[in-house]
Structures are given as C-alpha cells and as structure tokens.
Amino acid sequence: MALPLQGEATPARAGDRPRQRWKAAPAAAVVAVIGLAITLAATGSAAVLDRRNERSLLDVQTRQAAAVLGSTVLQISQPLMAAAEIAQVTQGNATAFRESIGGQTGPQGLFVSAVLVEVGGATARPLASVGVAPLADPVSQAGAASVRRALASPTFVVTGIGGSPVSRVGYAYATGGSTRYVIYAERGIPPNHRVPAESNPAFADLHFATYIGPDVSAANLATTDIDPASLPLTGETARETVPFGDTVITLVATASHPLGGSLGRQLPWIFLVGGLLLTALVTTWTTQMIRRRETAEQDAATIQALYGRLDGLYAEQRTIAETLQRALLPRANPPIPGLATAFRYVAGADGVDVGGDWYSVVRIDDSQVAFVVGDVSGRWVSAAALMARLRFTIRAYLLEGHGPGVVLQMCADHIDIVEDDHFATVLVGLVDLPTRRVTLANAGHPEPLVVSEGRGVYASTEVGPPLGTSPARYPTTSFTMQPGSLLLAYTDGIVERRDEHLDVGLARLAAAVTVLDTRNLDAGLDEVLRRMVPAASEDDIALLALGWTE
C-alpha cells in the first residue's frame, strides 16, 4: 500500500482512518514479528556458534597439551632405558649405574630416587641406589609387584605409590638376558598435587588435571593447577589420553576463560538488545565470527604441527653422565646364518679408553641385518656420552625399519657441534641376506673395503657431512656381494699417521686385508692389526668385518 508523502493531502472518506489503522497494525506486527524472529534466530545462531567454536578450540588446545605431555614420556623413558643398557653391558656395575642416572636424580631432577636391582631366578637383590629412599623398596613385598611387571613388560611400568591419592609415581624398566636387571625410579608429586600454571602456550588458557590410568577418580590424581578440592572439573571439558609405559596419562581440561575471546559470549546479547536496528549487521558479524573461528583453527593446527616436529627435540637426552667405552661396545655379534662377523677395538696409545669409536651389528629380521661403524670427534667422557647416545638412537631407528640414509638424516637433526662440542662420522649399512645386497649411507666416514678374489677395493659411496655439522640428506649406495667375499668397515685410527699422507695408509690397508678369510675372520683381523699397527696406536681403532659364507 502506497503511503502519502509528508505534506500531501488526500481526500477524506468515511471509514478510511479506521481501515488504515487496522492495516497498519498487522504490518507493524508482521515487521515486529519478522524483526523479533530475525533477532531471536541471530541470537540463537550466535550462541550455538560460540559454543561450537569454544568446543572446537578446547579440543584443539587439549590435544596440544596432550602432545606436550607425550614428550614427558620420552624424557622419562630415555634415562631408564639408557641406565638399563649400561647395567646390562657392565653386568650391574654400581658406579656406572650411579653415573648414568645420577644427573637425573635429586631435588631438581626427573626422579627423587633410583635403584638398580639384579634378578636371578626367583630372587632379586639391590645393587646400587641414588637419591632418597624409595617409598616402595623394589625388593620388598610392596615393590616386588613392580619388578615382576617390568620383567614381563616390553616397556617401563608405572605404579602409583603412597596411598590415595598417590604421593609418588614409581617406574620400573627391565633388561633381557639370563641375568636381568631392573631400573626402579620414583618421581615425586607436588604437595597437594597442585602445580603452578604452565608457561607453555598449550596450557596457557586451560584449567587441567592429570590422572594415572584411564580412571579419573581422586585416587588416581597426579597433578592439577587448581585446588584439588574443586575437582572434578565441571562445565565444558575435554579429555585426552597419552600412552605412558604400560598405562596411560588421562588429561582432563576446561577453558579458564573464553578461548574465542569475550566478544563471542557477548554477541548474542548484543543481537537481542539491538533488535531490528542490528538485523542488517547479523550477517557481517556472523561472517567475522566464522572467519575468526577458521583462522583460530588454522593457527591451532599450525601450532600442533610445530609441537609434533618438536617431539624429537623433547625426546633428546641431553644429560648422560660418565660411562665406559668398552662397556658400551657389544661383547658378541648376533649369530647370522650365511654371514660371518668379527670385530676388534684398540684403544689409543695414551691409555685412555674413554673415546668415541664404536661398532654395532643389529639383527632386523630373518632376512635383514644392519651394521654401524662410527667415530665421535675428540675423547674423554663427553665423547663417550655422545657415542652412547648415537649408538642407542641409531639402533632404535634401524629396528623401527628406517633405511640407512633416513637414519642418518634423523640423527643429523639431533646433533649439533655447538651444543654437544663434538661431531661424528658414521657409516650405516643394511644387508639383504637372501640377495647379498648391501645398501650404505655415509656421514663423513672412511669408505669401507670390499675383499674378493684376493683383492681389496674401496667401495664408492656418496659421502655426506658428518653428524653435528649441519642438517643434511644422505643418499644411499647399493651393490651385491659375491659368495666368499668380505666387507671391512673401520675408523680412521687404523690408516692415519702423523707426518704421513692419508693415501699411504689407505693403500697399506687395502694390501693388508687380503689376508682376511671368511672361515677365520678373527685370526684375519688380528693379522690386519699386526700389519697396520705394529706398535701402539696413536688413536682409537674400531674394525668390523662381515664375510659371506654362502
């Protein structure tokens, strides 16, 4: 209906004014109803969107916090595994145990106490301890259950100690072999289970509580940033579980304030109060909220990806105490059908056995065997500690199924000459037993010798930079060994001499290896050493020979 313009006169007819009022009322009512409907719809939509946005951001932030907790598992497991390996190779040496885990034990360390237990048959006895007395002595009735579980578990086992709720967490990790060793350690829980708010961005906007195991009862409470009497957390919560030894850590979190900002909470009220005047702005505000949500989720995804990349750095073990070079080297290589192996290690002339040369043979499966020969620059305790870390890390990566080039690339990301004061040259090989195919990756290491038909020829590999100098990619080289042929990997101490060109030493070694025979590799290596090092060696020497018997 066209309405008269202001000042325009219209003919007056009987009954017109009451009729116009009757039509204006429904129109106003319709406009009011439509405006109210739009306002209510916009208000409801904004409220639902805010709740979904808050829920999504809470889930993402909780997953980020869980990723940070996951790195703690590696920080705990690395010292346990390293101490267990040292205990195995040193046959339970108490001094080596204290030196390996002592730096991690104390008021400011990962653990408040640590005990080395030897288990033989049905008996167990403590060999050494560090820190305060454990609440659950591992050889007592209270702690024996943890030892038994560790002996049957492929990973470390976790036990809450000290009543309900627990006051300490116990960890136990067992080695293999006929004589088995168990590393038992306890980690203290803060008084009242309360920890200060995390400075890590993953926890910045959360109230949280962590529980040992899947049950979130008060008996399993580990830590929280609020008064434990206020638990369990109420309102909108998110839950994540993180694998933790033979159990899990359950993280329950709620937002400490609106994660999407205060505007999201206020927007429904703005729509309600503004009514018809703000109807035209609903689309704009909603679009802004949607874009804000998408941006926040994209930023959260980027942050989560960065946390994933940092997991390896969190897992890096940075404080391993003194250990012994000879104790860390394998005493015997695993028996391999169709492949004979032998090794030698000779300490330098100055009589200091703590160095960085090592070798390893790793049985991957029935058809694949890996071998490693490496040399950490320098000597003394720091070189041996870096060697132990590299040996353990490379062995773990090989057993995970990574190829030689990938293993070196992954290790290159974790070693830095500026931080570690050393670099390392490493040769990693993978042998396919059925085809006699050898695949090599080389990080600045001397090239191995192939001995066949009475001749020693150096294998040609693509040599990458030593570990610790810079992150790099390492290409691989493959070739097939003939039946009866041999492969000799070594460290540079056997060919380097003062005031002598390196080529002279390499030529001497190529001539000396012709005495090697797959039927008696040990005697052959002794003869090679006699020819190459008639007197004391100036540097440490490691040799690893592999001979194809069929």
In a domain, 428, yes or no: yes
Q: Alpha-carbon torsion 528, 529, 530, 533, what sign?
A: positive
Residue 265: the pLDDT is: 65
Q: Do the beta carbons of residue 247 and residue 219 sit within 8 Å?
A: no
- The answer, yes or no, to whether residue 201 has pLDDT greater than 80, is no
Q: Are residues 277 and 349 in the same domain?
A: no
CB within 8 A of 442, min separation 6: which ones? 426, 427, 428, 461, 462, 463, 464, 474, 477
Question: Of 110 and 18, which is predicted with more confidence?
Answer: 110
Residue 25: the pLDDT is: 44
Q: Among 118-127, 395-404, 441-450, which stretch is predicted with the lowest mean pLDDT?
A: 118-127
State the CATH number of the domain containing residue 420: 3.60.40.10
Q: Do the beta carbons of residue 391 and residue 384 sit within 8 Å?
A: no
Q: Are residues 403 and 456 in the same domain?
A: yes
CA 492 – CA 506 distance, rounded (Å): 9
- The answer, yes or no, to whether residue 8 has pLDDT greater than 60, is no
Residues 157-188: tens digit of each pLDDT: 998 887 777 788 999 999 887 778 999 999 88
Task: Rank 12-21, 324-333, 473-482 by mean pLDDT and report only the highest.
Answer: 473-482
Residue 285: the pLDDT is: 65
SS3 content of the chain, % helix, strand, coil (to 5): 40, 25, 35
CA 146 – CA 157 distance, rounded (Å): 7
CA 372 – CA 360 distance, rounded (Å): 5
Mean pLDDT of 351-371: 83
Residues 54-102: tens digit of each pLDDT: 888 889 988 988 888 888 778 888 899 999 899 989 998 999 999 999 8
Residue 449: the pLDDT is: 94
Q: Are residues 121 and 233 in the same domain?
A: yes
- The answer, yes or no, to whether residue 437 has pLDDT greater than 90, is yes
Q: Are residues 329 and 283 in the same domain?
A: no
Q: Are residues 245 and 394 in the same domain?
A: no
- The answer, yes or no, to whether residue 42 has pLDDT greater than 80, is no
> Which residues constitute the domain of residue 421?
325-548
How many structural domains compose the chain?
2
Q: Are residues 133 and 218 in the same domain?
A: yes
Q: Among 194-203, 234-243, 473-482, 519-528, which stretch is predicted with the lowest mean pLDDT?
A: 194-203
Q: Are residues 95 and 206 in the same domain?
A: yes
Q: Are residues 385 and 302 in the same domain?
A: no
- For the full predicted model, state whether its pTM sits above 0.85: no
Q: Are residues 255 and 106 in the same domain?
A: yes
**Three-state SS sequence of 133-181:** CCCCCCCCHHHHHHHHHHHHCCCCEEEEECCCCCCEEEEEEECCCCCEE
In a domain, 10, yes or no: no
Residue 16: the pLDDT is: 46
In a domain, 24, yes or no: no
Q: Could you tell me whether strands 157-161 and 247-255 are parallel, antiparallel, or unpaired per DSSP bridges?
A: unpaired
Share of the chain above pLDDT 70, in %: 83
In a domain, 25, yes or no: no
